[in-house]
Amino acid sequence: MAARTIPVDSFDLVIFGGTGDLARRKILPGLCRRCLAGQMPEGARIIGAARSEMDDDAYRKMIAEAIEEFDPKVSKDTACMDRFMCSLHYVEIDATGDGGWPDLKELLRKDVIRAFYFSVGPSLFDDLAERLHKHGITQPDDRVVVEKPFGRDLASARELNQDLAKHFDESQIYRIDHYLGKETVQNLMAVRFGNVLFEPLWNSHYVDHIQITVAETVGVGGRGGYYDKSGAMRDMVQNHLMQLLCLIAMEPPNNFDADAVRDEKLKVIRALRPVDYHHLVRGQYEADEDGPSYREDVENPRSHTESFIALRTHIDNWRWAGVPFYMRTGKRLKGRTSTIDVVFKDLGHSIFPGDESRHRNILSIRLQPNEGIDLQVTIKEPGPGGMRLIDVPLDMTFADAVDAEEVDLPDAYERLIMDVIRGNQTLFMRGDEVEAAWAWTDPIIEGWQARGDVPKLYEPGSTGPEDSQMLMHRDGRRWRDIKV
């Protein structure tokens, strides 16, 4: 099956922070892959902007090296690399000063799609928006892309929204949550709303509970300084896990338009029940032979920031009345996975004599690794011995179902950037969504701060603190295993 390429119009994409880690590791290699896939239209240009002194040639060299490091495969296609390099330009700009802006204005074309990617810290968003406006650069249909973190609480997120709103309409703003660009996240919507099979069962009559797990084996690494001010709740739950929860729980939108989808997601966030401390576990990883402890990693011996969090919440609406949603995420756990498990209720009555085990259908949606879906079903154990029942997974790994070699799956950043160019906001967070997510998150954080809560220590390579198991056991449930 050949990859379907949707043509996009020519564009000028300005990447503020074009020399930074994100630009070099994700954005530019991603765009180069789209170039290889034939999705970069003739004349498309990418303009890196940052303070470092550099000309176009030096920038091209820097980016060629970055692509070689972060995507050696694509860097071997010399024709593609040559073409991609020709599309690159560089402008020296300090977001907080006025130099360089006239050069950018002169370079930009007026009659193509134009997007400004703010791949810099949020403290510069206001400066960038202000100067783009002040120097007469922006046009009404320009797009602006902003990176996470979008605030660290409701007040700061509101301020960022207000700063952007001074110069851009909401329809121009693309707030990135790269989780939404993942193939399987979109498949989540395809599975739910493209099949007749699941939707009738997708409610409190049939679903016992839902688990969302995002586990990492790595620690905070070089991000310690940033992470220690943030923690798992702000860094992962408020955005990525919340977005997954929305997609799994939202009502069917009446169409796939950006606002139809985002309206439904917003309703989910607004219906989220506050989390009380009985249903919340925070943790910090200890040291082991493979690495230092969390506190050593962040160089803060008294840190109370969590590298692990598990919680239970509810969505207070008709569809989900009484159905708990469990979420957990952490670093240095036993495996790397992002999985959503929809655990269906027990069979009310078994007709098979001697069968006393609890057979449950579980629909597991794997975002990574091995993107795919498996459905746990109960079958007869093959062989003699009567009707002995076992649970087996019906596994559909997407790479097996379609020829992954030929279907060139774009990674999250590639997809999202191309959506910006196409003007499709469906996979981006709207301002009110982000604020609603913080409005739910803030009291949880304030609660543990007021209580002086200290995170529980957990062994690296485990599933997190013992209390996280208790969170489930108290409800007569258990976490699904994190596969190694």
Give the residue numbers annotated as catalytic, written as ranges: 240
Whether 290 contacts 175, CB under 8 Å:
no
Q: Which of 114, 131, 143, 148 binds ligand NAP (CB under 6 A)?
A: 148
Crossing angle of helices 258-270 and 242-249, rounded to 10°: 100
Looking at beta carbons only, is 126 or 395 nearer to ligand NAP?
A: 126
Rounded Cα gap, residues 126 and 128, in angstroms: 5
Shortest Cβ contact with ligand NAP: which residue? 20
86-115 residues in contact with ligand NAP (CB under 6 A) are 93-96
Q: Which of 38, 99, 121, 221 binds ligand NAP (CB under 6 A)?
A: 121
DSSP 319-373: TTTT-EEEEEEESSBSS-EEEEEEEEPPPS---STT--S----EEEEEEESS-EE
Looking at beta carbons only, is 91 or 340 nearer to ligand NAP?
A: 91
List CB contacts of 382: < 8 A, sequence separation 6 or more.
Answer: none
Interface with ligand NAP, residue 135, by CB under 6 A: no
Kind and range of the H or E run holding 249: helix 242-249
Looking at beta carbons only, is 59 or 168 nearer to ligand NAP?
A: 59
List CB contacts of 394: < 8 A, sequence separation 6 or more.
Answer: 374, 375, 376, 377
Looking at beta carbons only, is 70 or 198 nearer to ligand NAP?
A: 70
Q: Which of 134, 164, 331 is nearest to 235 (CA)?
A: 331
Q: Which of 5, 9, 38, 52 binds ligand NAP (CB under 6 A)?
A: 52
**Binding string, residues 450-469; x marks residues near ligand NAP by CB under 6 A:** --------------------
Q: Which of 267, 248, 182 is nearest to 210 (CA)?
A: 248
Looking at beta carbons only, is 121 or 194 nearer to ligand NAP?
A: 121
What is the residue whose two structure tokens read 């109960």? 378
Rounded Cα gap, residues 324 and 211, in angstroms: 9
- Tell me which stretch binds ligand NAP (CB under 6 A): 11-19, 286-294, 391-399, 438-446: 11-19
- Tell me which stretch binds ligand NAP (CB under 6 A): 120-128, 199-207, 353-361, 393-401: 120-128
Q: Which of 17, 29, 30, 464 binds ligand NAP (CB under 6 A)?
A: 17
Smallest distance, ligand NAP to C-beta of residue 121, A = 4
Looking at beta carbons only, is 179 or 479 nearer to ligand NAP?
A: 179
Q: What is the DSSP letter of 37?
A: T
- Tell me which stretch binds ligand NAP (CB under 6 A): 21-29, 63-71, 338-346, 406-414: 21-29
**Binding string, residues 230-269; x marks residues near ligand NAP by CB under 6 A:** ----------------------------------------
What are the b/e assignments for 353-374, b being 16+ CB within 10 Å?
eeeeeebebbbbbbbeeebbbb
* CA Rg value for the chain: 24
Smallest distance, ligand NAP to C-beta of residue 275, A = 25
Interface with ligand NAP, residue 182, by CB under 6 A: no
Interface with ligand NAP, residue 20, by CB under 6 A: yes
Q: Residue 378 pairs with which residues in a beta bridge?
A: 391
Q: Which of 39, 87, 119, 463 binds ligand NAP (CB under 6 A)?
A: 119
Q: Which of 35, 46, 115, 120 binds ligand NAP (CB under 6 A)?
A: 120
Q: Which of 449, 205, 226, 135 is nearest to 348 (CA)?
A: 205
Rounded Cα gap, residues 252 and 247, in angstroms: 10
- Tell me which stretch binds ligand NAP (CB under 6 A): 70-78, 117-125, 324-332, 462-470: 117-125
Looking at beta carbons only, is 113 or 236 nearer to ligand NAP?
A: 236
Q: Which residues bind ligand NAP (CB under 6 A)?
A: 16-23, 50-52, 93-96, 119-122, 124, 147-149
